[in-house]
Each structure stands twice: as C-alpha cells, then as structure tokens.
C-alpha cells in the first residue's frame, strides 16, 4: 500500500490539483461544461455540509496551513511515541497546567495510530496543527485536526472529492485562560471530524501530544500556554 503523505505536504497538492481541474473545466466548450461540472461535483451530493458549507471555512483551513508553513513547518512524528488506542484506557493524564508550546507545529499521527472516522474506513485522522495567533485580537492558539484518505489516489480525485478532502477538518481555538477540553463544544468544520474529537480517544491522543511537545524550560510566555487542567491563578507563583 502506498505510504500516505502527511497533511502539510498533501494539502498544497490538493489545492494545486483543484486549480488545475477548475481551469480545465473553464476551457471546455459550453455544450460540455454543464455535464462536466455535474460529474466533477457529484461527490458532494448528499454531503452533510455541501459545497457552500465547506467553503464557509475553507479560508480558515488555508490560513492555518499558511501560518504553519511560514513559521518553519515543524512536524513532530507521534506514531512511535503514543500507545495504541486500547492502551489509552490505561493512562490517566495528570493535571497539567501551563504547557509551554512552540509558536506553531504539526503533530503527525498517520494511519497507524488507528483513529478512523465512523462510516469511512479509508479516512483516518492524520494529525493536528497548532498555530499561535493574535489575528483575532487576544492571543490564542488555532488548532486544526486534519484527515487523510487511503481509499483514493489524489490524482484520481474529482473537484467534489478535492473539496471534501481539503475541508475534512475540525477547527478550534484555545485561549490562555481556557482548559483545552472546554474548547471542544465550539469546534467548527466537518461534523464527523468534530465528533471524532469529542467522542473518541482522539482527545486523549491530542492531550498526550501536547505533553510530549511542550518544553518546560522554554521562556515564560503566558500567551503561549495550553492547559490540560484548570489554569493556575494569574497571581500564583510559577517556576
């Protein structure tokens, strides 16, 4: 089976292929264009969001990827650091407040970690982006859970498939005053990916990931901390 590329590498390929296929459609004779458009977007028929719904947050997906790439594109391979899904049941995550995280990173799980979407055996959670931003006012992390698809080759995807694959994500924000688990109810994106974050071991996998990636010796910056437990009081002493 062909090795799946991590989402940060795959995403720009999806974007480029979508542009190429759109340009090819525009170049078709008018008599053929209607049928070709229907064939290209057939995959979106019955989709829970549809084309317009997915376009509502496509720009946010692009923003997160571009922010990640422009900050150096640091990827962390997590598959060999995490227990299998059954092993997670035996782990109790201790209270951890004030995890000091990098400005941006991508934690790569890949198909081998074993988080598949219900009803889509070929679709798996590939990883999660974290990008620090002040673009919306107060400092926060944007995070985005991204998926891969081992069931269809990228070059064989129609425009409808490409639209789904580019936006098969769950997007959240976590502020310095929040506990990470408190952010799940406000996720936006593909409903099935959002449900995977809320209802499966994925939330525990992400929590363990943050614990692995955090650097307790990093310079203190309260705006770049994520809390797995309740944040410490603002006036409390901190090492």
The two structure tokens encoding residue 172? 């959240």
Enclosing H/E stretch for 174: strand 169-174
- How large is the average pLDDT for residues 130-146? 93
pLDDT digits (tens, 9 = 90+) for 185-203: 999 999 999 999 998 888 8
- How large is the average pLDDT for residues 3-15? 92
pLDDT of residue 94: 54
pLDDT of residue 112: 86
User: Strand 75-77 and strand 99-100: pairing?
Assistant: unpaired
Q: How many CB atoms lie within 10 A of CB 14?
A: 18
pLDDT of residue 234: 44
CA distance 107 to 29: 45
Average pLDDT in the chain: 87
pLDDT of residue 230: 53
pLDDT of residue 17: 95
DSSP one-letter string for 5-27? PPHHHHHHHHHHHHHHHHHHHHT
CA distance 206 to 140: 17
Q: Write b or e for each residue in 27-45: b if 16 or more Cβ atoms lie within 10 A of its Cβ, otherwise e.
A: eeeeeeeeeeeeebbebbe
Report whether pLDDT(92) > 60. Answer: no
Least confident among 22-36, 117-131, 146-160, 224-238: 224-238
Q: What are the Cα distances from residue 74, in Å, to 3, 8, 108, 129, 131?
A: 20, 10, 10, 10, 11
CA atoms within 13 A on the CB side of 96: 20
- 34, 133 Cβ separation under 8 angstroms: no
- Say how far residue 156 (Cα) sits from the centre of its chain: 23
**pLDDT interval class at 84 (50, 70, 90):** low
- How large is the average pLDDT for residues 95-116? 87
Burial of 217 (0-12, 13-18, 19+ CB in 10 A): exposed
CA distance 162 to 122: 15
């Amino acid at each position: 089976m062909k090795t799946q590329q991590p989402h940060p590498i795959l995403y720009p390929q999806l974007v480029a292929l979508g542009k190429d296929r759109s340009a090819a459609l525009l170049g078709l004779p008018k008599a053929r264009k209607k049928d070709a458009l229907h064939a290209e977007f057939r995959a979106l028929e019955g989709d829970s969001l549809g084309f317009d719904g997915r376009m509502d947050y496509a720009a946010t997906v692009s923003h997160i990827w571009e922010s990640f790439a422009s900050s150096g594109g640091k990827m962390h391979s997590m598959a060999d650091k995490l227990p299998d899904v059954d092993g997670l049941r035996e782990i109790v995550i201790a209270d951890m407040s004030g995890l000091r995280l990098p400005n941006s990173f991508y934690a790569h799980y890949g198909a081998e970690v074993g988080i598949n979407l219900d009803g889509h055996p070929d679709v798996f959670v590939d990883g999660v982006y974290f990008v620090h931003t002040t673009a919306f006012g107060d400092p926060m992390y944007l995070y985005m859970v991204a998926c891969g698809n081992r069931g269809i080759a990228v070059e064989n995807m129609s425009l409808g498939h490409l639209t789904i694959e580019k936006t098969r994500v769950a997007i959240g924000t976590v502020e310095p005053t929040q506990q990470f688990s408190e952010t799940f109810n406000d996720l936006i994106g593909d409903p099935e990916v959002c449900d995977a974050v809320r209802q499966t071991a994925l939330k525990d996998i992400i929590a363990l990931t943050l614990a692995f990636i955090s650097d307790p010796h990093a310079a203190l910056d309260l705006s770049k901390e994520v809390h797995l437990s309740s944040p410490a009081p603002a006036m409390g002493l901190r090492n």
